[in-house]
């Protein structure tokens, strides 16, 4: 009886493997991702990530937004493959040097600390790409936002693309049509655009990212008409027409450290600090309706944000046998 059960278990395992393998043949990214990926190989992985993110957040509350942004900037360039973490090496130029990332993208040391702890616990098992995805979810929860099951099983890229980083990420002064196009190229729709923009409910932006709205929106020396004049006057005191490029400002001036739907409420009264935020309310009836909906219903925003984050985390992942599990997130392994 015992031997029959054993044979059945083996046959079931073989059948499952071939089912997954056959599914992967039609998927250029290989096997699909699933939340239980490390249950047997590194069951402590999610807890280790969470504890180090919590420690980093306690030390610096801005880190939550930084880690969330890191996931976004990774996934929009070559897929969610941790290419954003690679330092410049040989002929490869780091994505950290791109216009959207230089002097602003941060959180790399936190990822390093998580990776070090995981390498001690279960060597060469958990990818840097999965660490970034888990850290983004944990950061959202820590600031009062929604939770979601993170599909896992990504592998790490062998190269980076500074050109992709410069071209694929929406800029703070982008038009709505440009933002929608860049999201669409990643398989994300208009609902995802509005929901994921809600991540700007936490975090900061630099003076250089919105200065044109204060002084010269259309190249005619006139401020942006879609920015609340009283709000603009306050911003001008710390963001002069020249200098102070790196001065920081809250993306959500009301509840800057709390993940909530206040971001959307701000847009309704023209208090979106970035052009790429306010256009969601001013340039399309469809996005305007979604902004109103999320401003009225925090629960609905949370629900959609979680769905859109899972969808974004599924952008072109590398799965076995592609890529690798890096030992150090900043450089590829020696082959």
Please state, as a whole number, how many other Cβ atoms lie within 10 Å of the Cβ of residue 290. Answer: 23
Contacts of 267 (CB under 8 A, 6+ apart): 277, 278, 280, 281, 291, 295
Q: Say what angle helices 176-184 and 190-197 make with each other, to 10 degrees.
A: 110
Binding residues for substrate: 170
Please state, as a whole number, how many other Cβ atoms lie within 10 Å of the Cβ of residue 278. Answer: 23
- With H, G, I as helix, E, B as strand and everything else as coil, classify residue 91: coil
**Nearest CA among 215, 310, 301, 210 for reference residue 259:** 301
The tokens for 275 are 């052009």
The residues annotated with a catalytic role in the active site are: 73
Q: Which DSSP state fits 331?
A: B
The CA distance from 80 to 151, in Å, is 12
Q: Yes or no: say if 165 and 91 are a contact pair by the CB < 8 Å rule.
A: no
**Nearest CA among 189, 206, 223 for reference residue 308:** 189
Binding residues for heme b: 200
Contacts of 40 (CB under 8 A, 6+ apart): none
The CA distance from 67 to 240, in Å, is 29
What are residue 155's DSSP bridge partners? 318
Binding residues: 74, 77, 79, 81, 83, 95, 170, 200-201, 252, 255, 260
Binding residues for Ca(2+): 74, 77, 79, 81, 83, 95, 201, 252, 255, 260
Q: Yes or no: say if 209 and 69 are a contact pair by the CB < 8 Å rule.
A: no
The CA distance from 57 to 208, in Å, is 26
Please state, as a whole number, how many other Cβ atoms lie within 10 Å of the Cβ of residue 18. Answer: 10
**Nearest CA among 49, 309, 299 for reference residue 192:** 309
Phi, psi dihedral angles at 89 (to 5 degrees): -155, 125
- With H, G, I as helix, E, B as strand and everything else as coil, classify residue 22: helix
């Amino acid at each position: 009886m015992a031997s029959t059960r054993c044979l059945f278990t083996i046959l079931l395992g073989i059948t499952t493997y071939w089912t997954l393998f056959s599914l992967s043949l039609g998927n250029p990214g290989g096997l699909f991702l699933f939340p239980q990926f490390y249950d047997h190989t590194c069951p402590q992985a999610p807890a280790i990530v969470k504890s180090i993110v919590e420690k980093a957040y306690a030390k610096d509350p801005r880190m939550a937004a930084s880690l969330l942004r890191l996931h976004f900037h990774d996934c929009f360039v070559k897929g969610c493959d941790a290419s954003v973490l690679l330092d410049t090496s040989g002929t490869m130029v780091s994505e950290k040097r791109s216009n959207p990332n230089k002097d602003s993208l941060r959180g790399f040391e936190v990822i390093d600390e998580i990776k070090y702890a995981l390498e001690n616990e279960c060597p060469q098992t958990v990818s840097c790409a999965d660490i970034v995805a888990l850290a983004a979810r944990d950061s959202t929860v820590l600031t009062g936002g929604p939770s979601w099951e993170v599909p896992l099983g990504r592998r790490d890229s062998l190269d980076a693309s500074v050109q992709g980083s410069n071209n694929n990420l929406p800029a703070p002064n982008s038009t709505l049509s440009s933002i929608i196009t860049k999201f669409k190229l990643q398989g994300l729709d208009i609902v995802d655009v509005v929901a994921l923009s809600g991540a700007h409910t936490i975090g900061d932006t630099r003076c250089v990212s919105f200065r044109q709205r204060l002084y010269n929106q259309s190249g005619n020396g006139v401020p942006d008409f879609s920015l609340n004049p009283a709000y603009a006057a306050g911003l001008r005191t710390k963001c002069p027409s020249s200098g102070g490029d790196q001065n920081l400002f809250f993306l959500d001036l009301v509840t800057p450290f709390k993940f909530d739907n206040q971001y959307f409420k701000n847009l309704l009264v023209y208090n979106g600090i970035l052009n790429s935020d306010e256009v969601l309310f001013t340039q399309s009836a469809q996005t305007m309706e979604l902004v109103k909906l999320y401003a009225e219903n925090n629960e609905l925003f949370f629900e959609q944000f979680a769905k859109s984050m899972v969808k974004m985390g599924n952008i072109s992942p590398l799965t076995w046998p592609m890529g690798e599990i890096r030992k150090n997130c900043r450089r590829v392994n020696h082959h």
